[in-house]
Amino acid sequence: MEAAVPHSLAELTVTSPEQMRDLGRRLAKLLRAGDLVLLSGELGAGKTTLTRGLGEGLGVRGAVTSPTFVIARVHPSLGDGPPLVHVDAYRLAGGLDEMEDLDLDVSLPESVVVVEWGEGKVEELAEDRLHVLIHRAVGDTTDEVRHVTVRGLGARWAGAELGSLSA
């Protein structure tokens, strides 16, 4: 019988792109080198906007934009914090085998690694990880409301105060 994986959970409602960036800035305060963050959600849900806020909160160099065509971007820290490695796995059909070409396992110990569309592809990189699911209304809508679930998995996140993200 497999042991239950410890986790923590926060559920939030975000009503604008600026609030999504703010959420990223608050989340950055909880992150440290070695953390893996998986972002899931529909196209246009706000994954890159959240990552932009993470970059601001971590104090990294360079504009955080979607790495869809380059697959991964490294944003070095402007201070003494960890660099941000921003990966877009949308175009990668394979799992960890295809991701291995990016050497994420090498960068993970000293970086915060954020992977958009990483579900089912990078979980093997770390037992402890943060999974952020952003849900938005789909179809012909201008609705900016997003429902965000932040789930911390593994011992690293077992006692984390994810409720502080609601601030």
pLDDT score at 48:
93
pLDDT of 11 over the 70 cut = yes
What is the model's pLDDT at position 73? 83
Q: What is the pTM of this model?
A: 0.86
DSSP sequence for the chain: -PPPPPEEEEEEEE-SHHHHHHHHHHHHTT--TT-EEEEEE-TTSSHHHHHHHHHHHHTBSS-----TTTSEEEE-BSSSS--EEEEE-TT--SSHHHHGGGTHHHHGGGSEEEEET-TTTSGGG-SSEEEEEEEE--SS-----EEEEEEEESHHHHT--GGGGG-
Q: What is the pLDDT of residue 59?
A: 95
pLDDT of 102 higher than 70: no
Confidence (pLDDT) at 68: 66
Check pLDDT > 90 for residue 160. no
Q: Say how far apart CA 161 and CA 90 lie, in whole Å.
A: 30
For the segment 108-112, the average pLDDT, to the nearest whole number, is 86
Average pLDDT over residues 18-30: 95
The distance between the two most distant Cα atoms of the chain, rounded to a whole number of Å, is: 47
Write out pLDDT tens, residues 123-144.
888 889 999 999 987 766 667 8
